[in-house]
Amino acid sequence: MNLVESFSEFKAGKNIDRPTMVRVLEDVFRTLIRKKYGSDENFDVIVNTQNGDLEMWRVREIVPDGEVADESSQISESEAQSIDEDYEVGEECYEQLHLEDFGRRSIMAARQTLISRIMELEKDEIYKRYMDRVGEIVLGEVGQILKREILVIDDMTGNELIMPRNEMIRGDFFRKGDMVRAVIKRVEMRNNTPIIVLSRTDSKFLEKLLEQEVPEIEDGLITVKKIVRIPGERAKVAVESYDDRIDPVGACVGMKGSRIHGIVRELKNENIDIVNFTSNSILFIQRALTPAKVSNIQLDNDDMKAAVYLKPDQVSLAIGKGGSNIKLASKLTGYEIDVYRETDEREVEDVDLDEFADEIEEWIIDALKGIGCDSARSVLDLSKDELVRRTDLEEETIDEVLNILASEFEDD
């Protein structure tokens, strides 16, 4: 029934600093002493920081027999000499205490207290350690796959981390034993237990992947100004270099895409656009809408809106699949972007596709909007073959739509 053995059990593998551990041990033993003797004022508790060995000594002044006024701080000469016959009046008597002296029940209670305190300390230590690592990438092994999350064992520390399903990229599929990379998104305490949450969808994950692949970012020669993502689908990264000799976009992409390819694979083929940051809003919006070529931009800085004009064949590129390109460009630049087609004077009049809802089924209108066509003219500007190819609609359906739309302008 050795408390020090308990200490040895718990100190192994724990990242608790020795001074803290020693303080906990002293506290536990001083509590034992106070319960038995009412005070711990005249007691020394010595913990060996190397092996956890412990000594407890009761220190009292030796007074002549019959003159003990305070038993907690004084001891009679004859009692002192029963401990060591060389003791004399006026000296301090050191009496060693042993755990057995405190009784089985007290020792059991102290052991439980010690275990509980060390476990609390370890939780605090894990919390602090991972709080300092928020934003870092960790490599871990998938330990368990649950319905709403997977448990990941940190390869470096052996601690258990969690990655919720909503922090995983669409297309992520892991088996037990797989190695996975993710960023530490946040650390929180739940029921006095530290919970370390990982993410593969957070923008910080992409930023850290870029940092690992592009030495110029790690060296501070290139700065990542902003990242916006639709995880697993598309991302836009604005970068800037303070050295005119360095092309930040070229450095991030690498020779023949060598640097970006590994990141794209890690992110399940997420399409990553790297653009040069600039404080010129018009130029930044133009770059953000890549790969579309913009003809003209009109800004409303009060409402942070931008009217972007493009040739008809560039509209669908600017909007992107499911609106992803324009959505990310808006987030990257901070402007609400509206796309307009450049038209001849005679073609200024146009009709919104929604106006044909009574003649054209809603799902067909949605398919046309999906390729950037939201007005009658924008559909008529494209050939039948192109409409079939880009929308996957049947040829007969396209013929019917073109007839309905064309008749609208013939009536004029």
Does position 326 have pLDDT exceeding 90, yes or no?
A: yes
Which CATH code for domain 3-129?
A: 3.30.1480
Contact 263, 213 (CB under 8 A): yes
Same fold, 203-271 and 278-342: yes
Give residue-wise pLDDT tens across range 75-91.
899 988 988 888 888 89
Domain 203-271 has CATH 1.10.1740.10: no
Q: Where are the domains of the chain?
A: 3-129, 137-199, 203-271, 278-342, 345-410
Give residue-wise pLDDT tens across range 214-249.
999 989 999 999 999 999 999 999 999 988 889 999
267 against 68, higher pLDDT:
267
Task: Give yes or no for a cis peptide into 312 (omega within 30° of 0).
Answer: no
Instruction: Give residue 4's pLDDT.
Output: 55
Distance (Å, whole) CA 272 – CA 51? 55
Which option is the CATH number for 345-410: 2.40.50, 1.10.150, 2.60.40, 3.40.50? 1.10.150
Got the DSSP string for 291-359? TSPPSEEEEETTTTEEEEEE-HHHHHHHH-GGGHHHHHHHHHHSSEEEEEE---GGG----BGGGGTTT
Instruction: Give residue 347's pLDDT.
Output: 47
pLDDT band at 149 (very low <50, low <70, confident <90, very high): very high
Task: Give the class (CATH, top level) of 278-342.
Answer: alpha beta
Mean pLDDT over 300-319 rounds to: 89
Which option is the CATH number for 137-199: 1.10.3720.10, 2.40.50.140, 3.40.50.300, 3.40.50.200? 2.40.50.140
